[in-house]
Structure 1
Amino acid sequence: MCDRALPGERFIGRVTRKKNNYAEVTKLKTLSPHTDIVEAPCEYALHCGGCRTQNLLYEAQVKAKEEQVRDLVIHVGKFSYKDPEFDNMMKPIVPCDMQFHYTNKMEFSFGPKRWLPKEQLLERSEDADVEPANKVLAAVQDCWKNPELEFTPI
């Protein structure tokens, strides 16, 4: 498992954690990029991890997700691809009409220093201007304290 690596991409990585049946890897250098690589429309996509394949052509994203589900069904679900019912069970992923702006979960972090991508943390500036973060925090707190905004479970 390698964060920030696209399916089929060749890269040099460092194992950061070993488990019984898998390893976690940090990508250090791309050797050959994916053939369907595109520029991600969100400037933070490669850093935040929320849209892990946003820099991949949408059709390639759908194909990669389908392969990921198939692998999970086989390896985690212990289904056999040789089982005659397997192909009936595995249906193709239906592409979404809306490729972006679909997320239903966001996490925001606040701190005394500005946010930096992991790669730039070593070059960390000593900015300690907390005023912009405090303004955002106050706006979020005002919003969730608003009695007109009510949580409705699905």
Structure 2
Amino acid sequence: MIKNVHILNNYLMPFLSEDGLEFRTKKGKYFLDLKIICKAVYIGAHHRKEIKSLILKLSRSMNNFRLSTYCGSIPAEKLTENERDIINNALPLVEYLWDGRLRDISSKKIIHQHESCIYKIIKPTGERLTKPNLAEAVKFLDVGFNTLKGV
């Protein structure tokens, strides 16, 4: 399971959208909807009440509800093309900085986020270590945050 929306939006979705790769089943529709949701969450648009409700509406029509074998009640409301466009064209609330940090566009404040990358440390002996975030790398190397954040 991938919980990091940065990885989903910037690596997995483009990988699955490569030229020539096309889903020809109902899962293809699910994938397109997942891309819409992923992008909206990546840019922080899901924090807007209207966008969040549209994302939830879209998610309630995914997976089992599209299968011909589904026996439960299908949600009465489906997302219209106009509503889909509202999600697709939502303005971002966050921006990603070059060093992996996330900043609120309106307040310019740094937003706490979960790990978005792995730091590789290569010791002089050639041994390779990984640290899950900048804080762990700083602690291991016994240097200040500002020393590594500009690397």
Structures share fold, TM-score greater than 0.5: no
Greater relative contact order, per chain length (Cα 8 Å cut-off, separation 6+): 2
TM-score, normalised relative to structure 2:
0.28
Structure with the higher helix share, 1 or 2? 2
TM-score, normalised relative to structure 1:
0.28
